Structures are given as C-alpha cells and as structure tokens.
Amino acid sequence: MKYYEQLARLGVFTKSDVEKLVGKSETADSLLQNYKKRGLIEQVKRNLYVTRSLETGQAIVGRYRIASKIKPQSYITHHSAYEYYGYANQVYYEVYVSAQTKFSEFTFDDVRYRFISPRILEGVVMNPDGVRTTDKERTTLDSINDFERIGGLEELLRCLDAVPSLSESKLVSYLGQYSKRFLYQKTGYILGHFQSKFRLSEGFFELCELAKGKSVRYFYNAIRYESPTYDSRWNLFVPEDLMAIISKGVRDTGEIR
C-alpha cells in the first residue's frame, strides 16, 4: 500500500508514471503486478492502468480522464466532447478520441474507445479536472463535418440547441485550417439557423458562401432518397424544415463505421 495514495492521486497512469515513483523499471513491473493481484489497480489496455477505489472497487477516474491518457496529448472530440460539456442529448457507450498517433479500439468497463483521425491541430484545451478536449468551436465544426458517421443530424441539432455560445473568430480560424468547401457549405447552412443565438455576423456567412465553391451537393447522402428542397444560397439539397427535425425526430443518418 506504500504507493497506493500516489497512484490514487494520478487516477490513470502508465508504467512510466510508476517508474517515476519507484525509481526503477523492474520495481515498477513488480509493483504493477502486485497491485493488480490485490485489486488495487486495473489494467485498461497495454501500458495503461487505473486505480481502484478501496470503498467501491471501481475505477477512481471516469471515461474522459482515461481517454485523455490513452496517448500523449490524446483528447476527446466530436459527440464525446459535447457530452463532457453537458450539451449532449444522449450519452453514448463510446468515447471518440483523437491523437497524433493511432491506437487500436478497445473496450473497458463496457465503454468503447474509438480513434478519430484529427483533421486540424488547434482547438484543444486541458480542463482543470485533467480532461483534454476540443473546445466548443472545434467540437462544433468536427461534428458538422462528420455528423453522418458520428451521432447523426438530429443529435447534432440538439447539441447545438444546448450550446450557449460560440466564438466567431475561432470558427473562422478553424474553418480556414480545415480548408474544406463542403464544410463551409454545411456550416453556413446549419449555423444560419442559429445565427441570432450565437450572434454570428452576416460577414461570417458571406465568408462561408464565398469559400463554399460552386459545386451542388446533397446535405447528407440519404437525403437523395427523401424529398429535399434546394437551397440556392448554399448549393445544397436540404430538408424542407431543418429545425422541425428536433421536434419530429428523424431517421438517424448513421453512426461511425
């Protein structure tokens, strides 16, 4: 029990963290093996451990702290970031995680941890509780970009309905880093329904309109089999009433595959 308190303060850790406590690699291996046998710690995956509570026997830290330790500088993103901020309508048994190096998906405590390749590098923050996550603006653009694969359109709209504010300057910066015409189209169209709430200037939408290019696209793939209407400003085939989706519900446009 000599090092239990230090490991409890860490909550989630690697062998390297233990080596810093005990001084030697061999001693770290021995300690990890001993504490695992005694039920004081639990192995999440290769070279990743959590400390168990002496009272409950459960992991001291939650899914988001674990996700932030999977890889150096790993962080939660997309719908998982909305969940962390308290803006999600649903809580999934999946955590979406980005990092500079890929990891294999794994399950721990009935939660699936899935790697999402990052599209841009900025917009990541370390929160006081040790959870690293995308900020609201990066989360919003990532979610708009990938709503057909992660979460679906209805859940995205419900999350945006719960987000209290967005920084226009950050949105502009991240859109520039994405440099993706279809994202400008979708962002302009979706956030146009929230312009007043987020206090977005007309200049923001003019920027999106200018950067979207001339291609005509389907807002999402399945809409071609529905009864879409054409939005001439955004060159998109879109639902007849986007915000009605929140009240009526809509067939989910897909989970990550």
Spatial CA neighbour of 188 closest among 149, 152, 136, 242: 242
Tell me: the pLDDT tens digits for 201-237? 999 999 999 999 999 999 999 999 999 999 999 999 9
What backbone torsions phi and psi does residue 236 show, to the nearest 5 degrees? Answer: -125, 140
Output the six-digit token pair for 33: 């093996």
255 pLDDT above the threshold of 70? no
Helix 136-146 with 181-191: angle, nearest 10 deg:
110
pLDDT in tens, 132-185: 999 999 999 999 999 999 999 999 999 999 999 999 999 999 999 999 999 999
SS3 sequence of 86-144: CCCCCCCCEEEEECCCCCCCEEECCEEEEECCCCCCCCEEECCCCCEEECHHHHHHHHH
- Cα 124 to Cα 34, 78, 156, 169, distances in angstroms: 36, 12, 20, 15
Query: What's residue 120's pLDDT?
Result: 97
Q: What is the pLDDT of residues 7-66, one digit of tens each?
A: 999 999 999 999 999 999 999 999 999 999 999 999 999 999 999 999 999 999 999 999
Enter the pTM of the model.
0.91
Residue 98 burial (CB < 10 Å; 0-12/13-18/19+)? buried
